Amino acid sequence: MSSKISYTSGIYKITNILTGRAYVGSSSDVDKRLMCHIRKLKDNKHQNKDLQKDFNQLGEGGFLFQLIELVLDKALLFNRESYYILKEKQKPYNQGVICVPIDLTEDDTLRFLKGLVFLDNCWSWKSARFVNNAGQHLIPARVSYWLFKGPFDVSLNVAHICGFDKCTNPAHLYTSSLSETIYKFKNTRVW
């Protein structure tokens, strides 16, 4: 028996063989994530109600569970997942989780960058909100994450590992659900 453990980071797809409709996801450990999906589906406890309904009708044999792209740079996982969700010909089971673009023109980007204030390791922006040319009122940490790290699932929060709630340094920013953020950093404000 080998003691070597391998984690396959990448994009996976759960495809309904009958209809072709798919659930696309990303994980730093695809095998473990797919097993979690299968377990929840078999226990009738999957969070995606449409996928659960179809699984209840077709069973495990009615679906194809597969790795569709190996992604070694984990920072790119969400971008690649969004790419595959948008590429689906049918509405994916999880279409609602794709990112909604933050609309930034070149002028918006330059104005945002000029408004950054550099404090020790943290960065800040000159006010609590950034208004782009399209009239969107945006939280600076979310703009910074979008510009420097790329698109993200807008249902997630952009939180700060440094604890400074106005920080816009992309090295200090990560996305997480509200409950995960509160659990990890009870005293950190989440945007």
Cα–Cα distance measured from residue 23 to residue 55, given in angstroms and rounded to the nearest whole number:
12
Burial of 113 (0-12, 13-18, 19+ CB in 10 A): exposed
Q: What is the pTM of this model?
A: 0.52
Q: What domains appear along the chain, each with residue ranges and CATH number? A: 10-97 (3.40.1440.10), 106-184 (no CATH)
Are the beta carbons of 12 and 63 closer than 8 angstroms? no
> Measuring CA to CA, which residue among 89, 81, 84, 133 is closest to residue 111?
133
> Which pLDDT tens digits describe the chain residue by residue (191 residues)?
334 445 689 999 999 999 999 999 888 899 999 999 999 999 999 988 899 999 999 999 999 999 999 988 777 777 677 778 777 778 888 765 444 456 778 888 888 899 999 988 999 988 877 887 777 778 888 889 888 888 777 667 788 888 788 899 999 998 887 666 666 655 544 44
Comparing CA positions, the residue from 59, 73, 63 lying closest to residue 28 is 73
State the amino acid at position 72 in one-letter form: L
